[in-house]
Amino acid sequence: MLIGVDVGGTNLKAGAVTEDGGLLSVSTRPFGRFTGAEDFALRLVQLARDAAEKAGASPGEIRGVGIGVPGAVEDGDILYTVNIPLSRLPLRALFQKYLAVPVALGNDADCAALGEWRCGAGRGCRDFAVITLGTGVGGGLILNGGLYTGGGMAGEVGHMVTHAGGIPCSCGRRGCWERYASATALADRARQEGRLRPDSRLSLLGEGVTAKDVFSAAQAGDDLARSLCGAYAREVAEGIVNLLNVLHLQRIALGGGVCAAPEELLIKPVRDLVHRTCYARRSRQIPEVVRAQLGNRAGIVGAALLGDAGRR
Amino acid sequence: MLIGVDVGGTNLKAGAVTEDGGLLSVSTRPFGRFTGAEDFALRLVQLARDAAEKAGASPGEIRGVGIGVPGAVEDGDILYTVNIPLSRLPLRALFQKYLAVPVALGNDADCAALGEWRCGAGRGCRDFAVITLGTGVGGGLILNGGLYTGGGMAGEVGHMVTHAGGIPCSCGRRGCWERYASATALADRARQEGRLRPDSRLSLLGEGVTAKDVFSAAQAGDDLARSLCGAYAREVAEGIVNLLNVLHLQRIALGGGVCAAPEELLIKPVRDLVHRTCYARRSRQIPEVVRAQLGNRAGIVGAALLGDAGRR
């Protein structure tokens, strides 16, 4: 039995996973206050033991543990993380002080791609990516039939500039794709436009409007919301076609909260744009655009399978 | 002994190459008039035999032939080509009617990447790319220690949109990188600006101004030319940083005619911008930006080594 651990800024999750990716149990606890590296590792060990116990297994039956973190990893160390204080942390070594099993570390987007590839929307593909549209835009790549990490830092697809000289990004550049295609970007846009259009449902929602609200209003027929969803799909497609022209993937799966939106408001228009504009549109192999299937489970399942992926 | 064939719109070239990438001979003939698929294959066979003979070898000593074409290939067939009439051509089968040796087909940019990786600027890298700045912008990718072709259509890096809604591109999108970063783009820009600035050397060159002229004028101190070279380096860097953020390559080599420009006018400013703005700038592994080393030889050497790369 394998254990997958998903380290998030809000929650820590662990799951017991079979060798072929079946999820047997999930244990969750809040990230809480960070009280040191050693203590953090111990908490993850406890969570892993708990997940094993819930699945009816003893700690001795754990064959390996994979840990997905929101940041860059290298050789069992966390190099740095986004939004949580785990930079320069030798997590594998600390973890193994309390539980002597093989431990693999991975980036969370890479884990999601691995999970979807082995057990979800990417099954059977040689070249595949999961693109997550959330606070930012993240990506995990499966290339030539294996996880591609570029030494641990690849997949920062949100920081591909699509609008040179455009909106400033926290990464230091201007016009990064995630400033236009993240759920945050859609909500920001709705807030701005809502102020100018008191006739729209979006203006009623005021400053707290979310990407999900925009899709709901569009579904209910709100004109402004429909137009914002259309523009958003075009921004999403712009970056996806870029990735496909560079990598000619067989399939791209879209994940993140906004992908729960009705098919005809997001996945379908993105797919249509991709099929109309990607360079390979006249080739024998036209890339597919689908919805990710595993939701939050992808991170746990993918983390558990990290060891098998041959990169730790 | 291996033979590499480089199919270009102007010339056909073949070279005899040792197993470790040493170039022993080169034979060249003009592409000439296209008089049918069969005849075209026969011409390539003759050129291959000629290259072998020049290297002092008999046709029987040819262990394999690799052929690089400017277009997409799949399973020994040319799917389509850019600017030359070779689409839907079963080249491997036709070639083997006249010379019964293993034949591998590849895209020309992939061959250049393979050549530089094995014998030039990419030696020792696990993750590497050659970006060619010419009429367009092309790319070949070495990922996880092997040629990455995405089934034959990957590496269309010039058709990554960096300026959404920008200059229309022949691919059907607007704002593709190659509309800003190709040698053609630099020459176009010089032509436009030259008309408005009769004080510049560039205006004297009139409509026939080339990218090379712009670098020469910049080297001679011409203000307009210097400013155009600076802007051009920024456009080149924009796309390179995009690629690095997605793939976190260890090294990128720039090729194509304009890369003969003085280091301080192109490679150095691009390198500085990449090091200042790429996402991995704080990581242990900062991507390198270098000049390609093999020039035109890369295509022949890489084609010869295609068979070994395990993708035909």
Residues B161 and B190 in one domain: yes
Cβ-based neighbour number of residue B125 at 10 Å: 18
Q: What is the DSSP letter of A27?
A: E
Q: What is the CATH number of the domain that holds B304?
A: 3.30.420.40
Q: How confident is the model at residue A214 (pLDDT cuts 50, 70, 90)?
A: very high
The complex scores an ipTM of: 0.94
Separation of alpha carbons A257 and A133, rounded Å: 7
Per CB-CB distance under 8 Å, the chain B contacts of A159 are: 245, 279
Question: Which pLDDT does position A72 carry in this prediction?
Answer: 84
3-state secondary structure of A127: coil
Q: Is B277 left (phi over 0), alpha (psi -120 to 50) or beta?
A: alpha
Look at A151 and B72 and tell me if their CB atoms are within 8 Å.
no
Separation of alpha carbons A235 and A253, rounded Å: 16
Residues B94 and B172 in one domain: no
Give A52 to chain B, closest Cα distance, Å: 34
Residues A253 and A204 in one domain: yes
The mean pLDDT value for B74-95 works out to 86
Write out residues 31-70 of A within 8 Å (CB-CB) of B: none
- The pTM score is 0.94
Per CB-CB distance under 8 Å, the chain B contacts of A153 are: 248, 279-280, 283, 285
Residue B285 has pLDDT above 90, yes or no: no
Strands lying side by side in the sheet with B146-148: B146-148, B137-143, B128-133, B251-255, B288-291
Residues A145 and A66 in one domain: no
Give B49 to chain A, closest Cα distance, Å: 33
Separation of alpha carbons B208 and B198, rounded Å: 15
3-state secondary structure of B38: helix
Question: Which pLDDT does position B140 carry in this prediction?
Answer: 97
Q: Is A277 on the interface with B (CB under 8 A)?
A: yes
Question: Which pLDDT does position B311 carry in this prediction?
Answer: 38
Residues A107 and A163 in one domain: no
Q: In this structure, is residue B119 part of a structural domain?
A: no
Separation of alpha carbons B131 and B109, rounded Å: 8
The mean pLDDT value for A117-143 works out to 96
Residue A308 has pLDDT above 80, yes or no: no
Write out residues 151-170 of A within 8 Å (CB-CB) of B: 151-157, 159-164
Residues B137 and B176 in one domain: yes
Look at A159 and B247 and tell me if their CB atoms are within 8 Å.
no
- CB distance A144 to B146 below 8 Å: yes
The mean pLDDT value for A252-276 works out to 96
What mean pLDDT is reported for chain A? 94
Residues B92 and B171 in one domain: no
- CB distance B254 to B109 below 8 Å: no
- CB distance B92 to B79 below 8 Å: no
Separation of alpha carbons A277 and A264, rounded Å: 19
Look at A242 and B160 and tell me if their CB atoms are within 8 Å.
yes
Q: In this structure, is residue B145 part of a structural domain?
A: yes
Q: In this structure, is residue B29 part of a structural domain?
A: yes
Q: What is the dihedral sign for C-alpha B175, B179, B185, B186?
A: positive
Q: In this structure, is residue B173 part of a structural domain?
A: yes
Q: In this structure, is residue B91 part of a structural domain?
A: yes
A20-66 residue pLDDT tens: 999 999 999 999 888 899 999 999 999 999 999 999 999 899 999 99
Question: Which pLDDT does position A177 carry in this prediction?
Answer: 98
Q: How confident is the model at residue A309 (pLDDT cuts 50, 70, 90)?
A: low
Question: Which run of H or E residues covers position A188?
Answer: helix A183-196
Q: How confident is the model at residue B75 (pLDDT cuts 50, 70, 90)?
A: confident
A1-12 residue pLDDT tens: 999 999 988 899
What mean pLDDT is reported for chain B? 93
Among B159, B164, B241, whose Cβ lies nearest the Cβ of A163? B164
Residue A140 has pLDDT above 50, yes or no: yes
Look at B160 and A245 and tell me if their CB atoms are within 8 Å.
yes
Interface test with A, best of B149, B242, B272, B282 (most A CBs within 10 A): B242
Residues A134 and A257 in one domain: yes
Q: In this structure, is residue B102 part of a structural domain?
A: yes
Look at A143 and B139 and tell me if their CB atoms are within 8 Å.
no
Q: In this structure, is residue B264 part of a structural domain?
A: yes
Interface test with B, best of A73, A127, A153 (most B CBs within 10 A): A153
Q: Which of A195-199, A234-238, B177-181 has the lowest mean pLDDT?
A: A195-199
For helices B223-247 and B183-196, give the axis angle rounded to 10 degrees: 150
Give B88: exposed, middle or buried? Use CB within 10 Å, 0-12, 13-18, 19+.
Answer: exposed
Residues A210 and A281 in one domain: yes
Q: Is B237 on the interface with A (CB under 8 A)?
A: no
Q: Which amino acid is at A271?
A: R
Residues B139 and B267 in one domain: yes
Interface test with B, best of A73, A130, A251, A279 (most B CBs within 10 A): A279
- CB distance B284 to B160 below 8 Å: no
Domain that holds residue B7: 2-114+297-309
B96-152 residue pLDDT tens: 999 999 999 999 999 999 999 999 999 999 999 999 999 999 999 999 999 999 988
Look at A79 and B154 and tell me if their CB atoms are within 8 Å.
no
Tally of domains within chain B: 2
Cβ partners under 8 Å of residue A150, min gap 6: B127, B143, B247, B248, B249
Residues A91 and A196 in one domain: no
Residues A269 and A163 in one domain: yes
B96-112 residue pLDDT tens: 999 999 999 999 999 99
Which two structure tokens, joined as six digits, stand for A209?
């409007």
Look at B284 and A74 and tell me if their CB atoms are within 8 Å.
yes
